[in-house]
Structure 1
């Protein structure tokens, strides 16, 4: 009986661990972005590049959205389209004035986000990790906020 109980508790522990999400890698400052800091929240995932003019004009709007969404179950995160990492990522994010988290590792596989040829592109992912919308082109804080509110109402 003792051997069987150990086997069952080992299986249960394994299943519980498998349910825990992996971290998201590091941000533009080299700090780990924990799964607990993003999972279970609505995510606004914006892909940008420093050579993209609409991306540059959109950043202050996304900063405003990020600051206005703090503590409300919504997080804004950025992803550099060109795959910049480490100091290059930090420098590009700083030059554009990005004040929200920028992920060094692309979260597209995690959420099954489709590839995009156009920039900027912003994906809205719900609190269960399902992509709910894809917004192509320059966005405003109020526009994304309105879309988030509509999607959250649909889910009720």
Structure 2
């Protein structure tokens, strides 16, 4: 083998090892898989009602329905009325509904959308998409039911009817302090 061929072989091996190292580091970062049974990642975002930053940490001790959505998402719009009905029914019992808009539009545009639909639960705004990445969502809407200890007990990919008896039963059990049951990720269903 000529010295030139040896040089190319060594360079190829070094390049391959570098690529493996970089790829390995990318997959072993501090981001753990997010799913049922895992701790809900902590975050902060602007609460559109107050204009101030709010955090998931401040809700520890409460049962939380976290919904990640966007104004341009038709399935998101479709599920919002059922989320509002659920909030009206179980909010007084302690359910916190937090819908995080990932729109890159201004807060005023998102707030106008919310006002037109008469939504009274918390709407937070994260135009950077940080929360979307933190929760490793695959699209919108995507929702997480989080127990009082900050553990995800249900993940739903896609729109769902939040005031369906199965959804309400789970949340009522959590509000009553009954043990959480991991219900898995469900595409848009109960």
Change in Cα spacing, 1:48 to 1:95, as seen in structure 2 (3 Å) is farther
Q: 1:148 aligned to 144, 150, 171, which one? A: 171
Alpha-carbon displacement from aligned partner over 1:18-46 (angstroms, at most 9, x marks no partner): xxxx9955322234466697331010011
132-141 vs 89-98, greater mean Cα deviation: 89-98
Provide the rounded CA distance (Å) in 2 between the counterparts of 1:23 and 1:82: 17
> Which residue matches 1:121?
142
Provide the rounded CA distance (Å) in 2 between the counterparts of 1:33 and 1:62: 23
> Which residue matches 1:28?
48
Give the RMSD, CA atoms, in angstroms.
3.1
Provide the rounded CA distance (Å) in 2 between the counterparts of 1:50 and 1:73: 26
Count of matched residue pairs: 133
Change in Cα spacing, 1:45 to 1:24, as seen in structure 2 (3 Å) is same
Deviation at 1:97, TM superposition (A): 3.3
> Which residue matches 1:8?
none
Q: Are positions 1:74 and 2:95 aligned together?
A: yes
Structure 2 stretches lacking a partner, 5+ long:
1-41, 182-190
Please state whether the residue corresponding to 1:138 is helix, strand or coil: coil
TM-score between both structures, scaled by the size of structure 2: 0.57
Structure with the bigger percentage of helix: 1
Q: Flag the structure with larger Rg.
A: 2
Deviation at 1:95, TM superposition (A): 3.2
Structure 1 stretches lacking a partner, 5+ long:
1-21
Alpha-carbon displacement from aligned partner over 1:108-136 (angstroms, at most 9, x marks no partner): 49xx9622122211111111112222111
